[in-house]
Structure 1
Amino acid sequence: MVEKLLASAAEATRYQREWFHGLRESAAGGGPLALVNADAPQEIFRAMGIPYVVNQWWASVVAAKRRAPHHLELLRERGYPDHTEQYSSIPLASLFDPDPRDAPWGGLPRPTIVLGETVGDGTRKIFDVWGSQPGITYYALESAAENAVPVNWWDLMPHDWEKAVGTARLDLMVSELENLIRFLETTTGRVFSERALRRVLDLVNEQAEWNRRTRDLVARTTPTPLAVTDGIPSVMIPQWHRGTEWARDAARRFNEEVEARVRAGAAVCEDERARLMWIGRGLWYDMDFYRRFEQRHGAVFVWSMYLAVAADGYPRYGDDPLRALAARFAAFNDQLYTPPWSSEWYVKEARLHRVDGVVHLVSDDARGGYFTNRALRAAGIPVYELHADNVDTRSYRESAEPALEDWLEREVLR
């Protein structure tokens, strides 16, 4: 069990458990419940007061509780693939669990609406299965692309997002959001309020600014004051509640706690010998992984995408709330996975955090990984490719960690 050094991380986890208990009670009482992908416009649901749970967050909980093999077996028994897109498909298996009493946190309540974008054939088919179940409706969002790509999107996105994303993509996303609102009003009886959405977006921007301050503080501080195992819950649990005052205030408390550690000279590893960057999703079934490298080698993971994208990927300012929201998500996958959007951003972040090496978790469904690694190596930064899935323990070989340690000693610490 990973020890949390930050009170904000422990508090976020406690809050999430209480929130999930209330979510289960609401669903049991017959209220609407949405299951949404991590990169979908959750702010619409927030503004309309429709409870939702994030698909990939639930997969991370299942994996952390070592229940992923059971869920993948449930998929396999029904003829569904258990070897691809596991991060997105594990929550689907919750539908087929005949005895959910052993499920984490009491089990995933049955949603009435699922929302996901059509990125890749596998993701679309997973959500099609959701939509084929009685009482569940799948609302699909398109995934568009643009030929003109700004490599410095992180500078443009807060205010000049029309230029960064492209008018055609924004037009499409706005029309889809308008249709989503009509669909939700019809199916749930809830009423959309532009005023409520403006308030949600204001709170999200405030939260993003606090995350930006924290990211920049961690980047310039040596030795690092923040363990990645604290940073992920401290930033991501509030992300799933963004658009609320609690989430905004949680981001502020996180920033203040990191600042206090910096002022006190507190360090994750006093004998910090190397600063590492972790590219990819969290290794949810073994979060102790990161701390072992601190203890054995003085190698600290100072970066993960979670705090970094919370800083660069979310702030959007503008007078048109639907269009600003569209700008947040129309190119969200590009920011993380599509070169040169993603590759240039990873290089920028590696330099900002002054990393000595990069560990890149590469799963079978990785997108754009080759180009990311090529860009980092061209910038003179050593990269190690760790081939494993972040929720499927079958993909992780016992030889992986010794091989990574050997690379660390040869190419980084020497």
Structure 2
Amino acid sequence: MSARLNSASAATTYQREWFASLRREVADGAPLALVNADAPQEIFRTMGIPYVVNQWWSSVVTAKRRAQDYLGLLRARGLPDDSEQYSSIPLASVFDPDPANAPWGGLPRPSIVLAETTGDTSRKVFDIWDDQPGVSFYPLESAAENDVPVRWWELMPRNWEQAVGSDRLDLMTGELEGLVRFLEQTTGRTFSETRFAEVMDLVNEQQEWNRRTRDLIARARPCPLPVNDSIPSVMIPQWHRGTVWARDAARAFHDEVAERVTAGAAVCPAERTRLMWIGRGLWFDLDFYRRFEDSHGAVFVWSMYLAIAADGYLRYGDDPLRALAARFAAFSDQLYTPPWSAEWYVKEARTHGVDGVVHLVSDDARGSYFTTRALEAAGIPVLELHADNVDARDAGPDILTRTVGDWLDRRVRPGG
């Protein structure tokens, strides 16, 4: 099976057209927000404020083989080029001497940046944004809770108060109220509670489709689609959460996967090894995920993008703003903080029937040791790749391919 998913192609086409439209809108005077992937974008959607996701722009720059150019712009100004690369590459756009030749025409200068301060290094990246003329940084706190819920993925859709904790929700709800006031004062646009409720409903509908798709793939034998197709099919609509287009794109993705499952389509007809990829997308080498099909019958059947869409976003309730706070107050916990993350990865590995896990561990990773330990304790072999997903200087495609191939031969399928 070689044909790309229609949903992946359609999403990519839509994103290009949207970005061109956004550039025109900003050129005509509209405000622009740059927001982190784990930030409450739904408020900007409600207020009609254009926004670009920070890490999405990093993925575009990297896929276009420009990451080293942008990291060099940081280095030339005495800024670190080997820390938080995924979050700092868009900052380098400010210093680009030739923005007209940047990928996709270049990132327009934002007037607002929004991020949760998950660590000292991340905070410093956005403090530098705040130092740029005409740019304001609105930080969100990163709170913690001593009591960790068991099987949080079952609680989150409707019992999120119990899962996240009232103190954390009080804090983030207050911060979101402050964000709304800040945006109204800064942009002159107004926040409509009616519109906000519509946005939240559309997001829930979208994630219900993602949940169905995740479950289809988990049950399917053989795997009906490549991971590097599922990533744009799910993530581009995620950046447009709260729109009818995104909801319908998630449904189209589901329907296409369902058709493939019914038809018995296979990424690798000789599939004999199912793999799980833990970590951010390997944007400098997306072909990596299909490199072991012919040599080892090995297929990556899982990435965090569809899985977290399925388990991490659904929030129902009568208080939409508090429900939005519940969506993001513990978002990093779900992916990176043990035992939240470790238990979830084990659950996903088991439901997808994986034979091994390739775990990308970046320098800024949190909780990676505990994730690996939990999976190994569950009897699932793990290979840790110590590399950065946008910076290939320390571990490029050849090194990663050879390392994974050797691990498959030694630990996952010794003797073939």
User: TM range, normalised to the smaller chain?
Assistant: over 0.9
- Give the aligned partner of residue 350 of structure 1: 349
Q: Aligned letter for 1:401?
A: T
TM-superposed deviation, 1:57: 0.3
Q: Aligned letter for 2:43?
A: I
Q: Secondary structure at the match of 2:114?
A: strand
Q: Deviations over 1:231-253 (max 9, x none)?
A: 00000000000100000000000
- Give the aligned partner of residue 99 of structure 2: 100
Q: Secondary structure at the match of 2:277?
A: strand
Write the mapping of 1:360-371 to structure 2, written as runs, cut at 5 A. Answer: 360-371=359-370
Write the mapping of 1:1-400 to structure 2, written as runs, cut at 5 A. Answer: 5-397=4-396, 398-400=398-400
TM-superposed deviation, 1:260: 0.4
TM-superposed deviation, 1:413: 1.8
* Cα separation, 1, equivalents of 2:317 and 2:263: 39
Does the 8 A contact of 1:63 with 1:391 survive in 2?
A: yes
Q: Deviations over 1:29-75 (max 9, x none)?
A: 11110000000000000001101000000000000000000000000
* Cα separation, 2, equivalents of 1:308 and 1:400: 24
Q: Secondary structure at the match of 1:394?
A: coil
TM-superposed deviation, 1:409: 1.3
Q: Which runs of 5+ in 1 are unaligned?
A: none
TM-superposed deviation, 1:102: 2.0
Does the 8 A contact of 1:32 with 1:51 survive in 2?
A: yes
**TM-score w.r.t. length of structure 1:** 0.98
Q: Aligned letter for 2:250?
A: A
Q: Deviations over 1:169-208 (max 9, x none)?
A: 0000000000000000011011101111100000000000
Q: Secondary structure at the match of 2:292?
A: helix
Q: Deviations over 1:75-123 (max 9, x none)?
A: 0000110001000000000000011122110000110100001100111
Deviates more, 1:258-267 or 1:394-403: 394-403
Confirm or deny that 1:409 pairs with 2:416: no
Does the 8 A contact of 1:48 with 1:191 survive in 2?
A: yes
CA RMSD of aligned residues (A): 0.8
Does the 8 A contact of 1:87 with 1:390 survive in 2?
A: yes
**TM-score w.r.t. length of structure 2:** 0.98
Q: Secondary structure at the match of 2:197?
A: helix
TM-superposed deviation, 1:396: 1.3
* Cα separation, 2, equivalents of 1:115 and 1:4: 38
* Cα separation, 2, equivalents of 1:209 and 1:298: 31
TM-superposed deviation, 1:226: 1.5
Q: Secondary structure at the match of 1:385?
A: strand
TM-superposed deviation, 1:263: 0.9
Does the 8 A contact of 1:4 with 1:229 survive in 2?
A: no
TM-superposed deviation, 1:4: 5.7
Does the 8 A contact of 1:41 with 1:325 survive in 2?
A: yes
Q: Secondary structure at the match of 2:250?
A: helix
TM-superposed deviation, 1:406: 1.1
Change over 3 Å in CA distance of 1:148–1:288 after alignment to 2: same
* Cα separation, 2, equivalents of 1:128 and 1:163: 34
Does the 8 A contact of 2:291 with 2:401 survive in 1?
A: no
Aligned residues: 412
Q: Which runs of 5+ in 2 are unaligned?
A: none
